[in-house]
Amino acid sequence: MSFIAPHNRQLFANLVRREVRGRYKGSWLGIIWTLITPLVMMGAYTLVFTVVWQVVSITHYPLFILTGLAFWTFLTGSMTVAATSLVGNADLVKKVAFPRQIVPLAAMVSQGITAAVMVAILIPLNLWLMDGSRLVMLLLPLVIVASCALVAGLALALSVLNVFFRDTEHIVNALLLPWFFLTPILYSFDSFPLATSHEWLLDLLKYANFATPFVLAIQDTLFWGRMPETSVLIYIVVVGAAVFAGGYALFRKMQRDLAVEL
Amino acid sequence: MSDLRPGEIRLEGVSRKYRLLLERNQTLKEAILRRRRSIHREVWALRDVDLHIEPGHAVGVIGANGAGKSTMLKLLAGILPPNAGQVRTGGKVVSLLELGSGFHPDFTGRENVILNASIHGMSRQSVRARMDDIIAFSELEGFIDAPVRTYSSGMYMRLGFSVAAELDPDILLLDEVLAVGDEAFQSKCLSRIADFQRRGVTIVFVSHSQWAIQTVCDRAIWLSGGNVVSDGDPVKVLDDYHKGLATSMGADSGAAVVEEDHGWRSARIVSVTVSGDDGPTSRLLSGERCIVEVVYEVNEDVSPVTALTVRTVDGALIAGTDNRVAVDQRASERGFHRARFVLAQLPLMEGRFAIDVKLEADAGGFSFHEVERAVEFTVFSTGRGFGPVAILGDWDVAGIDRPDAGEALRA
């Protein structure tokens, strides 16, 4: 993060700490709490899709869900928290001069900690249970870097947008649920009934929703143990870089008048 | 920036405007769906300001609210960019526009010191090294490991200033930071500011307190309508400022000139002024001495009663007083008179208040002239309690044997 000067790293670390601590004030379970929501979701969906309504035939289905959720909670958690971060820290932004990107990025990192813990749990479990090649896990750092770039770009963009257009956070929140079901977290495209007859539909679902290739890449490397499609890898690198560059450019352009608009 | 010495400040043709939204915030939905822009008016907070401050000077900025004082500090701090012109500062700038900004209520005092120090760019090591000094300066030893949400606003400010006192700036920007806190702590802050000055730190200081400006500053600037109106020796500038106020008193200086209306009146209110310890002001401290002065003109042989009604800014009645009984002190000759109401200790809590002024006839409830909201002022408070009125008293709790019938609380 070269755009955070060394003397501001301290502030960055402190804001992350403040974000994390502030959310679970005084709770001794601390960071464990952040894992409860994905774990409950995993349990509920497993129950519904494998026991009650037996439609999924993925072995180790709970791990499959958790892999997708690691990315999803990082993405959407960061988007919602970052969207309100500048408005929530208005007193700081209006009264102190410091690089403003620190605020949304600290919000993102605080969400990233949860995802990191999930991935840290998934790696040994998948290494133990996975059928495919364990070597593809070497690609995981690339997938993580691309994901971070994507999320950082979105976090930066949404944080400034929400200052100028206060309904941004509500629009984002409204889109999250339908977006979740359009992203292959609970299901896999492999078992898609339309996959053979309507390939264009599959491609549309895969590439029009920018979250999908990232989810596929992390599922392939972390859960299936298979090489992601080249197109998916190219997609996540290009989109990650583009969204980051675009988000950062928008942030730089709009942050000039932050102190007046807040 | 390299051509500026540390502590030097240069403003060249600096202008800054604000958008005054005439409607609610713009929404993304509307911007996208209807391509509708927000309706707003542009207001210039600063207009073509040139200013050069030599390193080591302490400059006081005075002016009515909305004159551009805070905007100037924000430009100097780099919080806002100018719309035109150039703002250049040499060396490390520390801005204390608000003490304790960025404190997290659930963090302890100690944790907030670390957070706040990092906001101002202090490294972890130097915070650690100076932690004891910071805590000692704040005089909050007993509370430093309690969450700051349990602090009073005075304690909050004290901790905020204590962090600031340990910073090492070339330029220090202060905005009205001495408006709160008890007197002892205020003088401690001023002496720390004097320390900064001795070390050659450039200080830019916005204050409504004439006393603070005269104590601290060797130069003063009077801003009005976004322009520098007067610049130079603090005594001279303050004098200009007060003369200017007398001719065009704005409601926010704590003084208001009542506009002459067309009708002829037996008695007419000319001006109303609220003063604290430092003269006319719109900011008072709870418990401070407070004087309300009404200047009026008598045109006939009447002896008007001056009546004051204090209200909260949203109109709730708090108290009223008049000089009906003080017959001998009431003027009865024609000409100008001044009625003063002196309060030894202002019994109001934090908030914004307004005073209605009336000149009444001795009997019959007829009023010669009345002005609603003749002046408005803000009260700052450091004490505990709530509501608009400060009730002064002492608590005492002791164990008792057994409540008898009289003391038992009926449900």
Q: What is the pLDDT of residue A68?
A: 94
Taking only the tens place, the pLDDT of each residue in A130-185 is 777 888 888 999 999 999 999 999 999 999 999 988 888 999 999 999 999 999 99
Of B25, B102, B123, the CB nearest to A96: B102
Tell me the average pLDDT across B228-247: 78
Q: Which CATH number fits domain B253-380: 3.40.50.300, 3.30.390.50, 2.70.50.60, 3.40.630.10?
A: 2.70.50.60
Q: What is the pLDDT of residue B259?
A: 61
Of B29, B31, B118, the CB nearest to A14: B118
Tell me the average pLDDT across B372-389: 78
Contact A96 B124 (CB under 8 A): no
Q: What is the pLDDT of residue A219?
A: 93
DSSP-H helix ranges across B168-274: 183-198, 210-216, 234-247
Q: In the predicted model, is pLDDT for residue B187 greater than 50?
A: yes
The domain spans of chain B are 49-244, 253-380
Would you say B156 and B100 are in contact if contact means Cβ atoms under 8 Å apart?
yes
Would you say B380 and B350 are in contact if contact means Cβ atoms under 8 Å apart?
yes
Return the CATH architecture of domain B49-244. 3-Layer(aba) Sandwich (3.40)
d(CA A222, CA A64): 9
Contact B77 A97 (CB under 8 A): yes
Q: In the predicted model, is pLDDT for residue B228 greater than 80?
A: yes
Q: What is the pLDDT of residue A147?
A: 96
Instruction: Using pLDDT thresholds of 50, 70 and 90, give the confidence band for residue A194.
Output: low
Tell me the average pLDDT across A33-50: 84
Residues of chain A that touch chain B, judged by Cβ-Cβ distance less than 8 Å: 7-8, 10-11, 13-15, 18, 21-22, 25-26, 89, 91-98, 161, 164-168, 171, 256-257, 259-260
Which chain A residue lies closest to B30 (C-alpha atoms)?
A165
Taking only the tens place, the pLDDT of each residue in B294-334 is 988 888 878 888 999 998 877 788 899 988 877 666 666 78
Name the helix (H) or strand (E) containing A230. helix A230-254
Max alpha carbon distance in chain A (Å)?
59
Taking only the tens place, the pLDDT of each residue in A158-167 is 999 999 888 8
Tell me the average pLDDT across B267-271: 85
Q: In the predicted model, is pLDDT for residue B147 greater than 80?
A: yes
Q: In the predicted model, is pLDDT for residue A22 greater than 60?
A: yes
Tell me the average pLDDT across B101-119: 84
Q: What is the pLDDT of residue A200?
A: 79
Q: Comparing C-alpha atoms, which of B100, B98, B102, B105 is closest to residue B148?
A: B105
Of B18, B101, B114, the CB nearest to A91: B101
Taking only the tens place, the pLDDT of each residue in B48-89 is 899 999 998 999 998 877 788 888 988 998 888 898 899 999
CB atoms within 10 A of CB B340: 14
ipTM of the complex: 0.75
Tell me the average pLDDT across B7-17: 89
Q: Tell me the sheet residues that pair with B339.
A: B294
